[in-house]
Each structure stands twice: as C-alpha cells, then as structure tokens.
Amino acid sequence: MSETQTYRHRINEWWSTARQNKLFWRGLLGAAVVIIIDQASKLWIVHGLGLPEIGRIEISGIFDLTYVENRGASFGMLSGMRWLLSVISVGVALALAVWLGRLNRPIAAIGVSFIIGGALGNLYDRLAYGYVVDFLDFSGLAFPWVFNVADTAINVGIAFLLLDAWNTRDHDETA
C-alpha cells in the first residue's frame, strides 16, 4: 500500500469511528454554540452598544465593558502575528476535532468542544477584522486583561480537560 493509500485508509478509519461517536456530534454542536454566543456578544458590543465609539461602560466596581482590539493571541501575546495565529488556530481546531472523533469521555469532549469553539470564534474576528474584539474587563478585581466569550470558553475547556485528566489519572484510557 502506498503512503497516500495508507493516509486515506487512516482518514476513512477515523471517519468511520467519528461518525458513530455521539460525543463527536455533540462536541461539534457545542463548538457551534460557543461560536454563535461569542459572535453574537461581539456584534452586540460593537453594533448594539457602540462600544468602539464609547470605549468603556462602567458596570460595577469590579466589572466594566471596555472595548479592546486585540491584535495578538490570548491576553495580547504575539501581537501583530495575525496569519501565524490564524494558522495555529486552524491547526489546533483540526487536531482537537480529530481527537474529539475518538473521545469516549464526556468531560473531555466538553472541554475539547469549548476550546474548538473559542479558537474558531476568535479566528473569525482575526480573519474578518485583523484583530479580536475583547470587552470583558474585570480590572476592578486587579485582573489585568480584557477578554471575550471565546477566551472564556478556551479557559473553561482547559479546566474541563484538567478535570478529566484528574478523574482518569488512575485509569489506562488512551482516548
């Protein structure tokens, strides 16, 4: 069997497993919900509230809505590397989708779906605008970064994966 045939065989094998995996489909749905909520919140912030023109809306002593155009990755790291960050986002989302197709642990599947949704939500902004819209500001709690729903989903997804790792640390499961 040639290398191309081997590669196609592995893809077909994965797809056969993934399409029968209910966690795969639920995970993709969960990622889509994260993307929809993320993009809807950004549309509301930008066009509904007009936050780019206002700049900041004080809500309470600990929380404000503050408009930030984040041209980097999470919390502004790697600023100005739009295309590299886009390629990384696509790669991470694809790798996680492949893993999701094999997962049989619900907590891990939730985590993966949140990370995929968050990565793709921010990817859309990066490709459409050249930056990611951030607006959730907890500087009243001395939290130094402004972030968005997609960033939150990525961090919650990581927390779910850590919880899954903690719960399965004594088991010999590879998926």
Centre a 10 Å sphere on the Cβ of residue 85 and count the other Cβ atoms it contains: 22
134 tagged catalytic: yes
* Catalytic member of 38, 125, 134, 137: 134
Rounded to the nearest 10°, the torsion over CA 14, 18, 19, 21 is: 150
Q: How confident is the model over 122-138, as pLDDT tens digits?
A: 999 999 999 999 999 99
Give the DSSP H/E element, type plus range, for residue 160: helix 149-167
Summary mean pLDDT of the chain: 91
Q: Which of 38, 125, 137, 151 is catalytic?
A: 151
Whole-number pLDDT of residue 6: 85
pLDDT value of position 90: 95
36-49 confidence digits (pLDDT tens): 999 999 999 999 99
pLDDT in tens, 18-70: 999 999 999 999 999 999 999 999 999 999 999 999 999 999 999 999 999 99
- pTM score: 0.89
